[in-house]
């Protein structure tokens, strides 16, 4: 089709059908495109596969001038440029070398009257590090040729996001230096704090905001507790995979070593012909080999890949049938994104998360590790711990609909599990009755007991108080005397055995939840013999309980007869 002439605005409903070949709009697309055509700033939150690209490509095509799109990956940019050019929507990028830059700049400068190019894709790095790119934008602005700025994957702007990229911060110059050009931000990360942060950094002005539901109605969510028996978990995973030898799956692991170990275990456990279709992927695998494995997996030659989170961006295989997390990721946003690589073709799939409190503690150690991360900003550490806590609460949840927990975290209100989940999560499927119990007085007792134990026992040389482990605290509250109790003289504490009427499971759940909710905190401490032990301490909310403030409320949902 011929591009619109200068000053001409095309009918976007018609162009959606003719130029873009779509029978209809997906939810939100019509609204966003209309707002963009009115020249408003827009904030678009749509899950992956929701159809974000059309939200800016259609107005770019229909409005006079050129839309400049910031996108993080050169490979994704190339796909977009190719597919737009195929539709006849002339597009270019400056991200691939200087000769290209010359020719595009020449074309953009030489053909202003034709309004020929409709989309120009740039990486934020290009804007940050190339004076050419910036002066080109200024030249286009002076010529009145810029129709809009588009910031794709806009969550990369926010340090709250799981994918923060410093060069995205450079995009704040768009509003400062091009005050009249409308901006559209798009992301599939729905954490409300990230949304606020992105709006602020980009300087959006009363943006038209669209938020699609982030529910993935066909995915099945479940959490399995892995305890300390690794062998058992590996066997379970192998059985799971054995039953699905015709399906493609993805197994996320936390460490490189785990990727290799899980991959090897699966290869040993499964028949030889299938074992060859299992591999692993992490940052230390040679780059060419990595690319090869990803390609073979995408083509279906490899069926299972055990990967760190290095595997992901740019992966777009529609028929992944299961995503297993061998270890818990560091945030719910990460979990949503990684598990969401399942079932993109709309045909469903299973998301299985293995959870242990040990993994949570490991993640916390990684967040706090100054040796590895360098000196850290206290705020950044707090943000990551907050995100980790939400992830662990999801995993430890035994009653609430899994979808509900995620969508609540993303600030999506009004989700109805009866309609939106339909028993496609383990908690909704569990029909045992449950009840909400008020555990405030037990919580208060446990916090006070911890204080009594650590302060009434004599301190060792060096003044360090006696520490107690999570299991030790459970024993002390229930009054089970054992060696640890005697060693730290917990039996002398006034509240020792105050919870003797509770079952062990109940007290364990109570202490677990107190850690997850930051009433207690668990940290590794090196002891005199150089071993790291996990001990519990007062958490940031402990004072509320010790002083019985109105914030000291603690309820636990428990399953009855189980
Ligand atoms: P996102 O960027 O939100 O992950 P995309 O923009 O890549 O999603 O769109 C996902 C797929 O849906 C693409 O193949 C796209 O062509 C298709 N698509 C987008 N909008 C429509 C529509 N209105 N009708 C049919 N297909 C659409």
Q: What is the ipTM of this complex?
A: 0.99
What number does the ligand 1 atom closest to the CA of 188 have? Answer: 3
E strand segments, 215-298: 219-225, 248-252, 278-281
Of 30-34, 37-41, 122-126, 198-202, the one with minimum mean pLDDT is: 122-126
Which of 52, 54, 89, 313 to mutate to test ligand 1, by most ligand atoms within 8 A of the CB atom?
A: 54
What are the beta bridge partners of residue 351? 221, 323
Could you tell me whether strands 349-355 and 320-325 are parallel, antiparallel, or unpaired per DSSP bridges? Answer: parallel
Give percent of the chain with pLDDT exceeding 70. Answer: 91
Neighbours of 132 (CB within 10 A): 14
pLDDT digits (tens, 9 = 90+) for 202-221: 999 999 999 998 999 999 99
Q: Cα of 25 to ligand 1 centre, how many Å?
A: 10
Ligand 1 centroid–CA 78 distance in Å is 17
- Rounded distance from Cα 491 to ligand 1 centre (Å): 64
Q: For residue 29, which atom of ligand 1 is closest to its CA?
A: 23
Q: Is the CB–ligand 1 distance for residue 76 below 6 Å?
A: no
Q: Is the pLDDT of residue 90 over 80?
A: yes
The mean pLDDT value for 428-444 works out to 93
Rounded CA-CA distance 444/195 in Å is 36
User: Which residue's CA is minimally distant from atom 5 of ligand 1?
Assistant: 51
Separation CA 129–CA 119 (nearest Å): 21
Better-predicted residue by pLDDT, 351 or 456 = 351
For ligand 1, atom 20, the nearest C-alpha belongs to 51
Q: How many angstroms is it from 523 CA to the middle of ligand 1?
A: 45
Q: Does the Cβ of 25 fall within 6 Å of ligand 1? A: yes
Query: How many helices and strands (H and E) does the chain possess?
Result: 26, 17
* Measured CA angle at 340 (ends 337, 344), to 5 deg: 135
Q: What is the dihedral of CA 167, 193, 407, 554, to 10 degrees?
A: 140
Residue nearest to atom 17 of ligand 1 (CA): 51
| Residue 514: C-alpha distances to residues 358, 392, 402, 484, 511 (Å) | 15, 12, 20, 21, 5
> Is the CB of 56 within 6 Å of ligand 1?
no
- Identify the residue whose C-alpha is closest to ligand 1 atom 24: 22
SS3 390: helix
Mean pLDDT of 59-68: 92
57 CA from centroid of ligand 1 (Å): 11
Give me the count of residues in the chain.
562
Chain segment 527-560, per-residue pLDDT in tens = 666 666 778 999 989 999 999 999 899 998 877 7
Mean pLDDT within 263-291: 95
Q: Six-digit token pair at 274?
A: 């299938």
Atom of ligand 1 nearest to the CA of 25: 23
Pick from 42-51, 91-100, 121-130, 280-289 the range whose average pLDDT is largest.
Answer: 280-289
């Amino acid at each position: 089709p011929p591009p619109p002439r200068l000053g001409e605005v095309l009918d976007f409903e018609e162009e959606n059908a003719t130029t873009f070949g779509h029978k209809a709009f997906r939810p939100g697309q019509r609204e966003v495109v209309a707002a963009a055509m009115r020249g408003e700033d827009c904030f678009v939150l749509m899950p992956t596969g929701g159809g974000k690209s059309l939200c800016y490509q259609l107005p770019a095509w229909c409005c006079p001038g050129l839309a400049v799109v910031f996108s993080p990956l050169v490979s994704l940019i190339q796909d977009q440029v190719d597919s737009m050019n195929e539709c006849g929507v002339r597009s270019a990028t400056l991200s691939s070398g200087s000769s290209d830059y010359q020719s595009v700049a020449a074309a953009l400068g030489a053909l202003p009257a034709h309004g020929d190019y409709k989309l120009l894709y740039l990486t934020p790095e290009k804007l940050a590090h190339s004076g050419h790119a910036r002066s080109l934008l200024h030249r286009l602005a002076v010529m009145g040729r810029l129709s809009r700025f588009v910031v794709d994957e806009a969550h990369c702007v926010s340090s709250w996001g799981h994918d923060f990229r410093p060069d995205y911060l450079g995009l704040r110059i768009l509003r400062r230096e091009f005050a009249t050009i409308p901006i559209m931000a798009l992301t599939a990360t729905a954490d409300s704090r990230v949304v606020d942060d992105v709006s602020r950094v980009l300087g959006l002005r009363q943006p038209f905001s669209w938020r699609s539901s982030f529910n993935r109605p066909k995915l099945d969510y479940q959490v399995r507790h892995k305890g300390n028996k690794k062998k058992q978990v590996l066997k379970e995973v192998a059985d799971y995979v054995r039953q699905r030898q015709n399906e493609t799956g993805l197994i996320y692991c936390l460490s490189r070593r785990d990727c290799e170990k899980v991959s090897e275990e699966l290869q040993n456990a499964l028949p030889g012909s299938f074992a060859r279709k299992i591999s692993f992927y992490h940052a230390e695998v040679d780059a060419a080999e990595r690319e090869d494995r990803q390609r073979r997996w995408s083509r279906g030659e490899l069926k299972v890949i055990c990967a760190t989170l290095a595997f992901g961006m740019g992966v777009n295989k529609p028929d992944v049938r299961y995503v297993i997390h061998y270890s818990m990721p560091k945030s719910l946003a990460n979990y949503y994104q990684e598990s969401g690589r399942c079932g993109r073709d709309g045909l469903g799939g299973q998301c299985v998360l293995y959870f242990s409190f040990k993994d949570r503690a490991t993640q916390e150690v990684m967040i706090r590790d100054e040796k590895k991360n360098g000196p850290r900003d206290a705020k950044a550490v707090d943000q990551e711990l907050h995100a980790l806590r939400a992830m662990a609460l999801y995993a430890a949840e035994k009653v609430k609909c899994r979808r509900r927990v995620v969508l609540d975290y993303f600030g999506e209100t009004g989700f109805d599990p009866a309609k939106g989940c339909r028993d496609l999560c383990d908690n909704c499927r569990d029909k045992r009755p449950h009840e909400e119990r008020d555990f405030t007085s037990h919580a208060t007792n446990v916090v006070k007991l911890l204080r009594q134990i650590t302060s009434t026992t004599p301190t060792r040389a060096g003044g360090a108080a006696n520490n107690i482990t999570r299991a030790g605290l459970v024993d002390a509250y229930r009054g089970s005397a054992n060696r640890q109790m005697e060693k730290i003289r917990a039996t002398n504490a006034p509240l020792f055995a105050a919870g003797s009427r509770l079952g062990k499971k109940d007290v364990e759940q109570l202490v677990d939840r107190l850690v997850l909710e930051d009433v207690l905190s668990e940290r590794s401490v090196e002891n005199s013999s150089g071993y790291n032990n996990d001990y519990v301490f007062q958490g940031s909310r402990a004072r509320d309980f010790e002083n019985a403030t109105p914030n000291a409320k603690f309820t636990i949902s428990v399953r009855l007869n189980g």
